[in-house]
Amino acid sequence: MASIRIAISLAVLTGQAIAVNNGLARTPQMGWNNWNSLGCDVSESLLLDTSKTLVNSGLRDVGYNYVVLDDCWSDERDEKDFLKVDMKKFPNGMNAVADEIHRQGLLFGMYSSAGEMTCARYAGSLDYETNDATSFAKWDVDYLKYDNCYHMGRFGTPKLSFDRYKVMADALNATGRPILYSLCNWGEDFSHTWGMSIANSWRMSGDIYDSFSRPDDLCPCTDAADPHCIAPGSHCSVLSIVNKVAGFADRGQPGGWNDLDMLEVGNGGMTDDEYKAHFSLWAALKSPLLMGNDLRTLSANALTILNNPAVIAINQDPEGRSVSRVRRDTDAAPDKYGIGEIQVWSGYLYGGDQVVLLLNAGGKDTRITASLAEIFLHEGPEGSAPQVQEEWEVYDLWADRMDNILGQKILDADVNQLGTLFKDANWYNSTELPYKDGLKKSDPRLMGKKIGKIAPGGSLSAKVKKHSAEMFRLRSVGEGGKRKFKRR
């Protein structure tokens, strides 16, 4: 933990941040949050048991290092207007919880709302920001998720929302403790245009739910270009969130990220292919990766999606650039909800590599083909990008997914057996070799499996099952691909 604190302090002192200047979230944050699977069923034992699972399952070692307690933890305010901890749920207090989480090599997150109440109607932090930030710092908190419920009408323009959230940003900074600041205002008032000035991430849509494509009346804002849509809602499918962020996917940058909401992997509402596509998209769009399942009942299927280092490396790429959508066809074979889309997403990576996602959000398996001219559209339109004339090696980022049999052995193993299992599997450990260093070395565990080449002027083509995605890393052959990078 000392090394984590020193690194944070150095980042603050040297002013390395490009977005909000607190030195945190240089790549999108990773961790776990209880809300999607457990809601208000929170306790000290839940957090500590989850922390142990993060360590024993190897999830901490592939990057998931924040344990975030969501709503329902408080018990009103005391006579000095400081929040009280519910001692029935947390009998040893928050400092004891933080100490144990830190002892596991993890970081501790908490929750409040920029309103008079939280979303579950506990005491909110609006107009109590200084007191509550002081408490969070006193409790050794490393992360604050800050929600949007019961805001007393203080929204409706970007300036109103910015000012309301900035009060807590200033209060956190005034404590002197580095605390990652995660806005959860559901994309209201165009948070993607101002969130990076005060926060490390900002929600850009209504709440996700465990569906790949089902439309829901509670998630009516489907057009990111419509400034009059003021009901971001909830019950937003994976596809609806992806389609909304497409218009401003490029707003994330080191220190501040578009937050597509917590992951639903492992909660049971989607197929394995849908969960793989969900995880792939969140990773490539540089969303924070906060698992939302109950890790105490983690399945091997979920583990082997969540622990794929080749996909996580895309999310943690040091360039910090999201993929952009270069094609969207809406006339594909429809699924049972009448939705049929084919999408191609592409983005550049550290060292001149390129990531490509072929998404089939339709109802039938199909072959998707993307030309190099499409893939490098944003480097030069109409095939004018120099990369179009290069030869590229193609690496499948899911080909080396951990076998479910090994995943189950890890989940069933005694603690003293885990070291041998992970060593025999040669599984990537980002606490020993950070992703940035692994990418510099072209560590094969981060590259995926080489499956072929694309000739100059050629195309990438793959059979993609319905409601799934294929994800590839392209690597230029020879000296090509090392294009200049312009940071905004």
Residue 256 near residue 21, CB atoms below 8 Å: no
298 to 30, 211, 263, 292: CA distances (angstroms): 17, 19, 14, 11
For residues 266 and 238, what is the distance between their CA atoms, to the nearest angstrom? 14
- Give catalytic status of residue 259 as yes or no: no
130 token code pair: 């200084």
Nearest residue to 471 (alpha-carbon basis) of 325, 344, 353: 344
Nearest residue to 257 (alpha-carbon basis) of 308, 209, 200, 217: 200
199 to 230, 426, 472: CA distances (angstroms): 22, 37, 31
Torsion over CA: 149, 150, 155, 158 (sign): negative
For residues 37 and 272, what is the distance between their CA atoms, to the nearest angstrom? 18
Task: Please identify which residue in the block is written with the tokens 């009998």.
Answer: 91
- Give catalytic status of residue 217 as yes or no: no
Cβ-Cβ contacts under 8 Å for 14 (sequence gap 6 or more)? none
Cβ-Cβ contacts under 8 Å for 214 (sequence gap 6 or more)? 237, 337
Q: Which residue in the list 71, 207, 259, 317 is annotated as catalytic?
A: 207
Residue 120 near residue 75, CB atoms below 8 Å: no
Task: Please identify which residue in the block is written with the tokens 């389609």.
Answer: 243
Q: Which residue in the list 61, 147, 259, 335 is annotated as catalytic?
A: 147
Burial class (CB in 10 A: 0-12, 13-18, 19+), 483: middle
Q: At what angle do helices 93-103 and 44-56 cross, to 10 degrees?
A: 0
Residue 57 half-sphere exposure, CB side, CA atoms within 13 Å?
A: 30
Where b means 16+ CB within 10 Å and e means fewer, 427-437 reads bbbbeebebbe
Q: How many residues in total does the chain contain?
A: 488
Residue 18 near residue 487, CB atoms below 8 Å: yes
Q: What's the first-to-final CA gap in the chain, in angstroms?
A: 33
Torsion over CA: 152, 156, 160, 166 (sign): positive
Task: Please identify which residue in the block is written with the tokens 């052995």.
Answer: 409
Answer left, alpha or beta for residue 16, where phi above 0 means left and psi between -120 and 50 means alpha: alpha
Burial class (CB in 10 A: 0-12, 13-18, 19+), 13: exposed
* CA 370 to centroid of chain Cα atoms: 26
Which residues are marked as active site?
Answer: 147, 207
